[in-house]
Amino acid sequence: MKMTKPEILRLDSQQADFSEQLDKLLAWESVSNKEVNRTVEDILERVKAEGDAAVVEFTNRFDRLSVSSMQELEFSQHDLQQALDNLPEDQHKALTVAAQRVRDYHQRQKGESWQYQEADGTLLGQKVTPMDKAGLYVPGGKASYPSSVLMNAIPAHVAGVEELIMVVPTPDGEVNQLVLAAAALAGVSRAFAIGGAQAVAALAYGTETIPKVDKIVGPGNIFVATAKRAVYGTVGIDMIAGPSEILVICDGQTDPDWIAMDLFSQAEHDEDAQPILISPDAEFLDKVSASIDKLLPTMEREAIISRSLADRAALIKVADLEEAAKVNNRIAPEHLELSVADPQALLPLIKHAGAIFMGRYTAEALGDYCAGPNHVLPTSGTARFSSPLGVYDFQKRSSLIMFSEDGASEMGKVASVLARGESLTAHARSAEYRIKK
């Protein structure tokens, strides 16, 4: 059946209601609804109380399996290594190259401990230590994501996390060997064929088989996102991720077919993904629109892309590239492509974006797999205050304070005045005991 061409929203920054229309386009409530919340709360409570038994029950129900114990749901290290060893040569090479590039980039993010000493001998500093255990959630529903394994596990491994626990759903028992191979390459300690809210609960609370972790990272569906939000505080989480987003700023000189396919690359994730193109060249927007109409019928995921384009895409005309940067900063997209002649000149104007892809040859897709920087990025405007997943997400910082006798005496006087100003007498007297007579 021939599909109807999607009607893509056209906006002009000069139109009177541009701000209102942009707000409407960007509106997204990622989590959650009452029914989902009730379901997730029940799963969390059951897993917390019943451990392995509840995880097995929910996994059998939701993934259509028929296992009787958690042992049947755990992959051995032999399973992971065998998956890597048995990969076709091209996949093995591609996965190895990607893993090494991700590792090389993240090695440069490692925080280091430091100390300094003041003139009176007082020592101050910061001690950086890794978390003990991290939980890695890998999606396994509509598609499998070995790239997600690399992006979540390698920063944790580089940070020095001792134990990496991976969970990945296997609906109907379908196991993706590329995912297991990526786990072997990335240094995953243990891996389980479980997903959904029950997997998040198992990682957050621990069961007889699955260790309780310190932090849970990785994307998932609305049940996973809701569960992560619910267990935050018991464990750390990376973020609550919404649908994928791409914003392209183009000066009108890039091949319009390239730009159309860049927009498709994120639209094909799911129907709620958001592709946006901004350009000062109205004629170029028309050319990209024509490319979309031409290329869309050739896409395997045409129906998903078409829905994304119709519901959440926009082609935006602006006065110039400076205004394009301002619109970007308001949107704060997950992925930003600067498909312009001089991206370095435009870069200082960009304040908010999860990842910035610079130049006509830098397709966002390269960042998803093998550029090196992390593809776990803030969505839904949270790039205004959030950063990509990195080594720093798996390290903790402890302050170091060691006063000398003279330093304790002098700073004790300061602390005493401030503490008594707050009517905290014990604080004041504790500091005053160290003041030299």
| Look-up of token digits 């390698």 | 154
First-to-last C-alpha distance (Å) of the chain: 92
Q: How far is 182 from 176, CA to CA, in rounded Å?
A: 10
CA distances from 306 to 218, 268, 373 (A): 27, 9, 29
Q: Is residue 335 flagged as an active site residue?
A: yes
For residues 306 and 3, the answer to whether their CB atoms sit within 8 Å is yes
For residues 193 and 170, the answer to whether their CB atoms sit within 8 Å is yes
> Which of 334, 337, 352, 364 is flagged as catalytic?
334
Of the CA atoms within 13 Å of residue 317, those in its CB half-sphere come to 13
Q: How far is 169 from 299, CA to CA, in rounded Å?
A: 27
> Which of 335, 337, 352, 364 is flagged as catalytic?
335
Q: How far is 77 from 7, CA to CA, in rounded Å?
A: 50
The dihedrals phi and psi of 39, each to the nearest 5 degrees, come to -60, -45
Phi-psi region of 160 (alpha: psi -120 to 50; beta: other; left: phi over 0): left
Token reading at 410: 């002098």
Nearest to 335 by CA among 361, 303, 363: 363
Token reading at 151: 């992006």
Residues with a known catalytic role:
334-335
